[in-house]
Amino acid sequence: MPGVHLSAALVNAAAAGIGRPALEAILADHDIRRPQLTGEQGELLIEWSTRLRAVFAAEDPDARTVAVNALLTVGTTGVYLTTHDGRRPHLHFTPEDDDIVGRVRAVTAGGLAIFAVESEGERLGTCARAGCRAVFVDTSRNGRRRYCSARCGNYDAVHRHRGRT
């Protein structure tokens, strides 16, 4: 589900304060066509990323549903199937000729919505380590992931251990 991983990457990039070239690289990595950004478009996508964060930070499936719907309202103009560039049929949520900001909004809002259906509103989260602002998509088998990375998990484990001894 490309839109979901792109959403997480954009939220984490925005939190880290990356610049426009790095942002374009993230878009290209996630198969976004024509990923070149003007300065203004880069700012609009950073702003959009702060809205995407709400979906990862939602407390439960009900709150997550509300958060995704807020994105769908702003970020999509309609829905249709497409097989562009020889790909398997997949859904698009904005016209092919929309600009980069419109296309990224649509693929992230639509991708998060489809993912929420499949994951029953679960499997998105924010890192449990205090001070880490990263978000993640939980693709683990049991769906109990709490940290953005093994590094953050280990950090907390060590500190919990020290607290006990």
Residue 8 touches Zn ion, criterion: CB under 5 A = no
Where b means 16+ CB within 10 Å and e means fewer, 84-114 reads eeeeeeebbbbeeeeebbbbbbbbbbbbbbb
Phi, psi (degrees; rounded to nearest 5) at 124: -130, 145
Does 100 help bind Zn ion (rule: CB under 5 A)? no
Helix (H) or strand (E) segment spanning residue 17: none
Compute how many residues bind Zn ion; rule: CB under 5 A: 6
Tell me: does residue 63 bind Zn ion (CB under 5 A).
no
CB of 26 to Zn ion, least distance (A): 17
Q: How far is the CB of 84 from Zn ion (least distance, A)?
A: 6
State yes or no: residue 127 binds Zn ion (CB under 5 A). yes
Phi, psi of 81 (to 5 degrees): -85, 145
CA dist list (Å): 45 to 8, 52, 129, 132: 13, 10, 26, 21
Binds Zn ion (CB under 5 A): choice among 14, 134, 135, 137: 134
Range in contact with Zn ion (rule: CB under 5 A) among 21-29, 60-68, 120-128, 153-161: 120-128
**Closest separation between CB of residue 111 and Zn ion, Å?**
11
Question: Applying CB under 5 A, which residues contact Zn ion?
Answer: 127, 129, 132, 134, 148, 152
